[in-house]
């Protein structure tokens, strides 16, 4: 996936929209900040997500962090490979390290997310 064509949430999750479906993962910035990822608590299929609320946890050698839903919707698929190989998120956060697929509830929420250049500025400000 091309990070330039994704939408970003301030809690460092990304969204790739395709029709009413969205693939969600964490950003490269987030995986670097977390360090070596050792465990991920994936959401359940059919779980209803609400934008800005926790939908799982991710654990690294440094810390445990909440996964924050960038948009509202229903989980229609999770990346089961991450249960066995959570380090995939470190290796390929925008590809094989995706976390969940969501059926989007409200398409207008996508407009509330940052594009790649806005996210880059946000990260730059946050790291000062």
**Is pLDDT at 128 greater than 80 in this prediction?**
no
- Say if 67 falls within a structural domain: yes
- Say if 126 falls within a structural domain: no
- Domain with 95, as residue range(s), is 3-120
Question: What is the reported pLDDT for 52?
Answer: 97
Question: What is the reported pLDDT for 79?
Answer: 98
Distance between CA atoms of residues 79 and 53, nearest Å: 20
Helix (H) or strand (E) run with residue 30 in it: helix 28-34
**What's the CATH number where 110 sits?**
2.40.50.100
- Say if 128 falls within a structural domain: no
Measured in whole angstroms, how far is the alpha carbon of residue 101 from the centre of its chain? Answer: 10
**Is pLDDT at 3 greater than 90 in this prediction?**
no
Strand partners, 115: none
**Is pLDDT at 2 greater than 90 in this prediction?**
no
Average pLDDT, the chain: 95
Measured in whole angstroms, how far is the alpha carbon of residue 39 from the centre of its chain? Answer: 15
pLDDT > 70: percent of the chain: 99
- Say if 36 falls within a structural domain: yes
Tokens representing residue 48 in the block: 């209803």
**What pLDDT, in 10s, does the model give residues 59-77?**
999 999 999 999 999 999 9
- Say if 74 falls within a structural domain: yes
The domain tally of the chain equals 1
Query: Scanning the structure block, which residue is given the tokens 């989007």?
Result: 104
**What pLDDT, in 10s, does the model give residues 103-117?**
999 999 999 999 999
- Say if 127 falls within a structural domain: no
**Is pLDDT at 51 greater than 90 in this prediction?**
yes
Query: Scanning the structure block, which residue is given the tokens 């998120």?
Result: 89
- Say if 111 falls within a structural domain: yes
Distance between CA atoms of residues 128 and 68, nearest Å: 23
**What pLDDT, in 10s, does the model give residues 9-22?**
999 999 999 999 99
Q: Which of 10, 5, 15, 50 is nearest to 29 (CA)?
A: 10
- Say if 31 falls within a structural domain: yes
């Amino acid at each position: 996936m091309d990070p330039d064509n994704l939408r970003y949430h301030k809690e460092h999750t990304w969204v790739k929209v395709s029709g009413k479906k969205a693939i969600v993962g964490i950003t490269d910035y987030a995986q670097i900040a977390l360090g070596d990822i050792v465990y991920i608590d994936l959401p359940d299929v059919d779980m209803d997500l609400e934008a800005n609320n926790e939908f799982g946890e991710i654990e690294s050698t440094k810390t445990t962090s909440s996964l924050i839903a960038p948009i509202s919707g229903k989980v229609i698929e999770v990346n089961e490979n991450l249960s066995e190989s959570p380090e995939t998120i470190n290796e390929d956060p925008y590809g094989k390290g995706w976390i969940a697929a969501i059926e989007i509830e409200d398409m207008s929420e996508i407009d509330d997310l940052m594009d790649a250049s806005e996210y880059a500025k946000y990260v730059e400000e946050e790291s000062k």
